[in-house]
Structure formats: structure tokens, C-alpha cells
Amino acid sequence: MQVLGEDESEQLARVAAAFKVIRTIQRKLVCPCCSTITQPPMPGLPIQRSIAHPSLLADILVSKYADHQPLYRQSAIAARDGVTLDRASMGRGVGQCEALCAPLTEPLRRYTMAATKLHADDTPIPVLSPGNRKTRTGRLWVYVRDDHRSGSTQPAQSGSRTRRTGKASILKPISPV
């Protein structure tokens, strides 16, 4: 038989994310002349003395903020793969990553607020009062800068602010640039 031709088809498959341990080995070196021991520094990590690789931290943050997956659900998803991710540890990691991103907050806020058009939303949210189990109404203000429909080529940007007060004044949290 001779090959006449071939038909080709494609299917879209999803390869599930997998956890893996990345082991870093650092050699200790000793000088034969003076017996001085040296060791190169560890590679830089976003969170010192943490076993969380930057890829794991990025996945936790994207799942939490972009996919709206609370930490307890992420913990349950990891448990199905046989990995124990403590919610408190993930919460500390999220907080430390937010601290690492803090230098970007103010420049992004200024960029967002400098828009010629600013879209805003005021959403009431329940806020747990410190020291007791009662909730009261707080406010979540979301601001979006996106002028692409007006022909702008500037990148879109969004930002938010929260207040523990129930007062629905959207003008107060907007500060001049």
C-alpha cells in the first residue's frame, strides 16, 4: 500500500495543574588552606522561610482575586491532589504578597483617578465589627478607567477602596490626583 494522503483533526485537551517539589541543593565549600567554610546565598524568594514557590503564590492569588475562589475552597482542591495547604498559611502568604505589591498601589491609584472619565460603583457589604460578632454595613467603592470605546489607547485600570462606615457618599473616597 502507498500513502495517498492524510486527514488531520485536533482536539482541545486540558492538562490539570500538578503540585511538585522543587529541591534546591546548595553546596558548602571549605577552603583547604584556611578551613573557611562558605556557601552561596539561597535564591531570592518572595516570602522568606516559606516553602511556597512563587508559582504557588501566583496561583493562590489568581484563584482568590481573579477566579473568586476563597482560601478554604483552594485548600479543599489541593487536598484532592493529596497536598495539605493550611488556610492560615495561605492567608499569611496572601498578606505578604500584598505587602510586596504595596509600592505599586499609589501609582496605580493616581493613574486610575487621572482618567478623563471614571466609572464608579458603590456597593454595600457586611463588615464584621472588631471585638464582637455583629456585622454592620460597610461600603466597597470600585473605580474603573477604560476609555477604549472613546478611541483611547491608554490601558484600562481598576481600583477599589473600602470603608467601615455605612454612609453612601461616593465622593468622599475620591481624592484629587
H helices present in the chain, as ranges: 54-61, 71-80, 87-113
Q: What mean pLDDT is predicted for residues 83-92? A: 94
Region for residue 31 given its phi and psi (left: phi exceeds 0; alpha: psi -120 to 50; beta: otherwise) = beta
H helices present in 39-132, as ranges: 54-61, 71-80, 87-113
Terminus-to-terminus CA distance in the chain, angstroms?
A: 76
**Residue 176 pLDDT > 50:** no
pLDDT tens digits along 26-82: 899 999 999 999 998 888 888 888 889 999 999 999 999 889 999 999 999 999 999
The structure's pTM equals: 0.69
Please provide residue 147's backbone torsions phi and psi, each rounded to the nearest 5 degrees. -110, 25
Q: Locate the domains of the chain by residue range.
A: 46-103, 114-177
Model confidence band, residue 165 (pLDDT cutoffs 50, 70, 90): low
